[in-house]
Amino acid sequence: NNTINLKNRPKGRPSLDDFDITTSEIPEVQEGELLLGTKYVSVDPYLRGRMSDAPSYVPPFELNKPIKSGVVAEVLESKNDAFAKGDFVVGELAWKEKQVVKADGLMKVDPNQAALSAYLGVLGMTGLTAYHGLMEIGRPVKGETLIVSGAAGAVGSIVGQIGKILGMHVLGIAGSDEKVEMLKSEFGFDEGINYKTTENMTEAISEACPNGVDVYFDNVGGEISDAVLFNINKFSRTINCGAISVYNNTEAPKSISVQPFLVKKSSLMQGFIVTDFADKNEEAIQQLSQWLQQEKLHYTETIREGFDQIPQAFLDLFEGKNKGKMIVKL
């Protein structure tokens, strides 16, 4: 049975050398435990933070121990009354082909309600991140302008669509013309900007948003965000969801120059962790499921196949090789 461990704490951009695969026997299932077979593995930008040992909101991964992330698994054997063989579960689990676990923190998922992989994306952590961040911090209002960075990714593509459902004018920022086209044609965004080919982002945003920016859902940080913030309106709200453009930096960032601008605009900027709003998860999942059923909300996935492809799929997030949620299928 194979396991993927963290071999080194990456300096700068992670590489395949930072992971290794080990093989071991599967232990026997004890009373209260389950044997799980991994079906789908979520790879996420936040895992980069857990590979370093800097203090954070979750403890770092230990060296030479398995990496963990969101996993959908099938119950292969159960000695726990709450689960039966053949059930599917989602939870934070190790990067192992099979594993014996206690059932704490696992949630049953229904393959007849939605595709199993959706419980790692639109009906899982990234869908909740999009919903809570926009609703709780963005406080969206019909007719306002919403900008989403990282717009073609798992979180961003859902944020922009919720904005449209709520009647906002939505602009997405992404890293290729193909992604920008997808935002408009598949996800109904009003406008898109390819940050890799746009020379002056501040100007491009100003042109695309003649009424300014009321809500900014920030997945990337760095210079893209500076350019958005130069265009914000009075009483605008910025949701600091993530900052993937700086996750691999080895030097402290230079101070940004937009702060005086935030003062002038009486603008709110707030970070959050999706679990901050866990008490509202049920309501969020209900709403997201309803929008999916009504076909008001759509999602896309980039699915890689094979256990040994997990590290490469993770690395490819930093190259923008995914559209929507990046998932590995076993």
Of 70, 124, 150, 163, the one binding ligand NDP by CB under 6 A = 150
With CB under 6 A as the rule, give the number of residues binding ligand NDP.
31
Q: Which of residues 112-131 bind ligand NDP (CB under 6 A)?
A: 126, 129
Q: Residue 326 forms beta bridges with which residues?
A: 302
Piece of the chain touching ligand NDP by CB under 6 A; list 38-46, 88-96, 250-258, 277-285: 38-46
Task: Give the residue with the Cβ less far from ligand NDP, 270 or 286.
Answer: 270
Q: Residue 118 forms beta bridges with which residues?
A: none
Give backbone dihedrals phi and psi of 272, rounded to 5 degrees, phi first. Answer: -165, 160
Least distance from ligand NDP to the Cβ atom of residue 126, Å: 5
Of 114, 205, 227, 241, the one binding ligand NDP by CB under 6 A = 241
Piece of the chain touching ligand NDP by CB under 6 A; list 5-13, 98-106, 197-205, 318-326: 318-326
272 binds ligand NDP (CB under 6 A): yes
Q: CA 198 to CA 175: how far, in whole Å?
A: 10
Task: Give the residue with the Cβ less far from ligand NDP, 53 or 110.
Answer: 53
Of 3, 69, 267, 322, the one binding ligand NDP by CB under 6 A = 322
220 binds ligand NDP (CB under 6 A): yes
Least distance from ligand NDP to the Cβ atom of residue 42, Å: 8
328 binds ligand NDP (CB under 6 A): no
Task: Give the residue with the Cβ less far from ligand NDP, 71 or 274.
Answer: 274
Q: How many CB atoms lie within 10 A of CB 167?
A: 12
Task: Give the residue with the Cβ less far from ligand NDP, 99 or 311.
Answer: 311
Q: Which of residues 160-199 bind ligand NDP (CB under 6 A)?
A: 174-176, 179
- What type of residue is 121? G
Site string for ligand NDP, 51-90 (x = CB under 6 A): ----------------------------------------
Of 8, 13, 29, 46, the one binding ligand NDP by CB under 6 A = 46
Q: What is the 8-class DSSP label of residue 90?
A: E
242 binds ligand NDP (CB under 6 A): yes
219 binds ligand NDP (CB under 6 A): yes
Piece of the chain touching ligand NDP by CB under 6 A; list 82-90, 135-143, 198-206, 315-323: 315-323
Residues 310 and 4: beta-carbon distance below 8 Å: yes
Of 155, 182, 327, 328, the one binding ligand NDP by CB under 6 A = 155
Q: CA 329 to CA 222: how far, in whole Å?
A: 32
Of 34, 118, 135, 154, the one binding ligand NDP by CB under 6 A = 154
Q: How many CB atoms lie within 10 A of CB 199?
A: 6
Give backbone dihedrals phi and psi of 227, rounded to 5 degrees, phi first. Answer: -65, -40
Give the neighbor-by-neighbor strand order of the sheet with 145-149: 191-194, 169-174, 145-149, 213-218, 232-240, 268-271
Q: What is the 8-class DSSP label of residue 324?
A: B
Q: CA 137 to CA 287: how far, in whole Å?
A: 17
Q: What is the 8-class DSSP label of residue 120?
A: G
Query: Could you write out the DSSP letters of every residue in 254-280?
Result: PPPS-HHHHHHTT-EEEE--GGGGGGG
Least distance from ligand NDP to the Cβ atom of residue 243, Å: 6
Q: What long-range pairs does 182-188 form, CB within 8 A, spacing at least 24?
A: 182/152, 182/300, 182/323, 183/151, 183/152, 183/157, 186/298, 186/300, 187/157, 187/160, 187/161, 187/298, 188/160, 188/161, 188/164
Summarize as ranges the residues that interact with ligand NDP (CB under 6 A): 44-46, 126, 129, 150, 152-156, 174-176, 179, 219-220, 224, 241-245, 272-274, 317-318, 320, 322, 326
